[in-house]
Each structure stands twice: as structure tokens, then as C-alpha cells.
Chain A
Amino acid sequence: MAKYDIAISGGGPGGAYAAKTAAELGLRVVFFERARKSGEKNASGCGLGQRWWRDFPFIMDEIVELDSYREIHFCYFKITDSDDRLVTTISTAKTPKDDRRIQHKDHGYGMTGTSIYRSDLDPLLANLACNAGAELRTSTLITDVIKEKGRVCGLVTEKGEKIEADVVIGADGAHSLVAIASGIRKRWNKDQITLVPQLDFSCNEQRMDDVIGPAELVWFGPYCGAYQVNFRDGFHLGLGQWLDKWDTRPLDMVKRILKIPAFQAMCRSVDAELREYQVHLLPWMPHPGKSYGDGVLLVGDAGGFPCPLEGEGIWHACLTGRMAAETAAEAIAAGDVSEKALSAYERKWKQSAVGREYEFGQEYVNLWKNSAFDPEFMKKMVLFLGEVQSLNFPSPVFDWSDDHMKTFNDHLGHLLDLLPELSDFANHNIVPLGKGISTENRERIAGMISGSIKKKLPRIIPQRVIRSVVGRFLGLA
């Protein structure tokens, strides 16, 4: 029986990063992947956020050299109505502030994300681990854990081979055998996990550059939202829903987007060809589940770490992989891999940048659950977004259907009609997020509001009183 310090189930981002870290710390580590090669079973967006440049700059230097790499600066929301007509396009912005936020080799990357196929990314990450000295065993399915007196102390392969280790790491994704077999949790509840069907298209690289450029798209309408992630010469179209929310067959949902004329036009403009159909589970919950047990740690999707606002999870998998390996190394060095000792892992990730992701987890999840999955609500939302954009510059200048002030008032009137219908949603789902506004910014807002109120009130009311009333309204002490 082979004996390792750490045995890892899963050769995706979480497993590879845990293996790399463990090997760099001088531990004997093996990681197992059921596919013939890392990435061959995995499907995702696959967008890497701007903070990859901050947290993994040297890996990014290699990622930009990969075949499917596309640099991303923008996201365009294509809003369509119940008749599939294009209502408006709303875009993210890019300002000088963004360039200063994240810098690498004197270059600003604050709004520079990345799209890369998993068939490119996963082998790169697995290679980093192997180069650091980790052992990778591919084409090997893990079917059980070894347990002694309740402690997990190894993995069992499909052939019955037993791999002993001081610490086991479950990096085996959304459907994690390690999580369930070790008794940390049962299957996810249906409201904790989403099913994401996805289509892959090939396209003409030059046309993608010229027509869409460095951008992702979101198709947003009464059918809910679908993302389009653009690679060098291909793109993904996908959409997800919690398992307790599906009321249509996933296949029919995807086909719904294919009908939209603006989507078809986009496909024509980049010479798209449909290439592959994929489907994958993605945990999506307010807070990760329990992430440790006796002799065992869970990282990435196995632990439920994806972002509760937009489901990004590769960054979380890599960082939790790193922290799990560090915790395991400390526990092994101290000769104590008990559940209590390994609980240090949870404290570690909670205090890290990963932990901050879940501070508003419940609010983020509610935002989607109470909107995107309700077609009637989405119809109103589409009308609302259309009116907002009609009032926004440059729409009032370009509407020549009547005199400018009349058309402006028409749109404003319609917007005011819609507001009461959406105010319940805003009160329950947007207002609670207000507590995320920093104290510093709230104080500045309070200062501005009380200043302008003071000008309109008789002088006898002292500024102090106005400031305190406004401050209390804005949640300041």
C-alpha cells in the first residue's frame, strides 16, 4: 500500500493548486483525475476575473499564451422582450481608476479579464503541480475513502487499490464523492446547486475581434439570462437554474435563446458553427458548506465555494486548494490531523479574500432567485430597463418622434408607472445591499445631503441636527 502525506481526489483547478502547493511545501502528494487528461471532463464559462492578475500574475503570463485565450474588458447585456425584439444594450464601463487598481509589470489590469477553454487551462494548472513534484494519476476514478475509527486516511480507486495518506483533500467538484463518503455532508439540497447546460460554437477569430472585440455578452429577457463567453475563435452560450427551479427541460431552455433574431444575427456576423453540447452542475449558495472533517478537507466546488453573485469558481478553487494544502502541511508537521486541528482551514479561508465573498451571500442569491427565475417579473424588468435607458443619455437627444421634452415626459411617466410594481423587489433585494456601502462613502453622502438641506431650511436648525437625522437614515452611528 502506497503511503503519501496528502492524497487528492480531482485534477481540476482546486486539486491541481492543492497539489502544487503541497509539493512546494516539500510534501509527498498524489492527485487523481478520472479523465485521460485534466480538463477533458470539465465545462464552464470559462471567464477568469481581473483579480487573477493580482493573485496569480505568473500563471496569467502563461495563460495569455494559450491557444483559446481572449482578453476581456467589457460585458454587454443584450436585453430582449417577450417578442424577442432587442430593447437595448447595457454595457459595463472602464475608467482610469480601473487601470490603477491592479497592476502587473507596470500595466493596468483592473478591467482585464480572460476567457480560456478548460481544455487549455486545466492541463496548464496540472502541469504546474507536476513540475513542482506532485504525482498525477489520470484515467483513475476514486470510488471510496479509507476510514479508520472515523478518520479518513486514504482513497480507494475503482480497481480497489488503496492509497494511504495523512490527509485527504476532496477536490472532486460539484458531485464530490469525498464529501459524501467521508460523511461531511450528504448530497447538496436542490436549492444549493444549479444545473448549467451550455453550447459551444466555433467562430471566425478576425470577425469576433472586429464585431464583438474584448467582451462577453449576456442575453437577458423574460426567459431569464444566458451568458455568452467569447474565446479566441469560439464561444459558449449557457444558462443555469437551481435544481428546484427547473420547470422546463434544460434542452428546451437553451433552444429558447437560439430563436432570438439578434442572437442569430450575432452568430452570422462571426461565422459561428455549433460544435458541442455540454452540461455540468454548479454549486450556488449563500455560504460554502462544511469544509473539513477528521483527516479530510474540501476545496472548490466540492466545498460549495463559487461566488454567490455570479457563480465564478475557478479562482475560489485555486485559493481554497492552496489554503487546504497549507493547513494540511501544518497539521502533519504538528502530528495532529484530527477534525479539530483541520478546522483551522475554515478559519483561514474565512479570514481571506475568499471569505469576504460570502458576506452578502444571502442577499446575492436572493437577488437572482427572486428575479431571473420569474418570467412575469422579468417581463416588467425588461420594460423598466428599456425606460431607464430611454431616459439616459443619449436616448433623449436621439428620440425625434416628438419634441424632446414631450418624449422625455412620456418615458418618465411610464417609468413612474412601473416603479410601484418593482418597489417590493427593490425593498427586499436591493435595499439590504445598501449596508455594503462603506462608512466613508456613507459619510460623504450624508455630508452632501445635509449640506443641501441646510440651504433650504431656516437658519435656526443647527447643521448638527440635520446631519444626525440624515446620518441615521443612512445607517451611520
Chain B
Amino acid sequence: MDQRDTKGGDFTGTSLLKLTFKVEGADPGEFITYDQSKCNSCGACSLVCSANLWAVKDKAKLSPRYQELCLECAACYAVCENDAIAFRYPNGGAGIIIKHG
């Protein structure tokens, strides 16, 4: 990351999504699954995802890189009123590390 981005008080240019950490080498498993046949394309999952991992054009689609980028907030599950999204946390000991939570 460019040092300029994180100093001097102006952080508007910083890429926030890069400021997350993961347990190295641990398999998180398939912890988000979804059923497009239940999706009515309302777009709620895509709006609330803080990591911008959902795209809803015709039907909701999750980024294939979600295991590495997901912030584990469960908001996509919580917001989908059609039960199209199933969420369980990653396998124990895997996934995100919050260092200064």
C-alpha cells in the first residue's frame, strides 16, 4: 500500500478493502451458498455488502473470491427476505482476523 494513502490526515484515496487480514493457509470451507431460483433480484444483498461481493443483474451472484474477501458480517443472509442466501461462519480457526476490533 502507498504510504501517502494512510498519512497526512486525508485518507479518502485509501483502498479500504485491502485493510483486512485472514488466517493464512486455513480452509474456510464453503460458508455462503445461495439459491438463484429463490432470488427476486431485489438487490438488497448487493447494497449492504461492505465488501461489494454481490452483483445483481438478472439474479444475485456472489464473487467467486468471496472466501478470501468476505468480512463475515452475515448481512447478506440477514437482509435476504426470500431465504435465497445461506450463511454459516467459516470453519473454526479460519477466515478473517480482526486485529484491533
Name A's B-contacting residues (CB within 8 A): 34-36, 39-44, 46, 68, 117-119, 138-141, 143, 157-158, 174-175, 177, 187-188, 190, 193, 195, 197, 199-200, 234, 236, 243, 246-247, 249-251, 254-255, 258-259, 264-268, 272-281
Contact = CB atoms under 8 A, between A and B. Distances in A.
Contact of A258 (B11, B52, B101): B11
Given A143-B88, A193-B78, A279 B9 contact: no
B3 to A, nearest CB: 9
Interface of B: 5-12, 14, 16-17, 19-21, 23, 29, 44, 47-52, 71-75, 77-79, 81, 87-93, 95-101
A275 B75 contact: no
B73 A195 contact: yes
A175 B70 CA distance: 15
Contact of A243 (B78, B87, B88, B92): B78
Given A175-B74, A280-B73, A35 B19 contact: no
B101 A250 contact: no
B50 A175 contact: no
A276 B99 contact: yes
A16 to B, nearest CB: 15
B69 to A, nearest CB: 11
B48 A243 contact: yes
Contacts, number: 151
6 closest pairs, A vs B, by CB? A139-B93, A43-B101, A268-B9, A264-B9, A267-B9, A175-B74
A46 B81 CA distance: 31
15 contacts: A35-B92, A68-B100, A138-B92, A141-B89, A187-B78, A188-B78, A193-B78, A199-B16, A243-B48, A247-B47, A255-B12, A265-B9, A274-B6, A274-B16, A279-B71
A140 B19 contact: no
A36 B23 contact: yes
A434 to B, nearest CB: 35
B11 A246 contact: no
B6 A117 contact: no
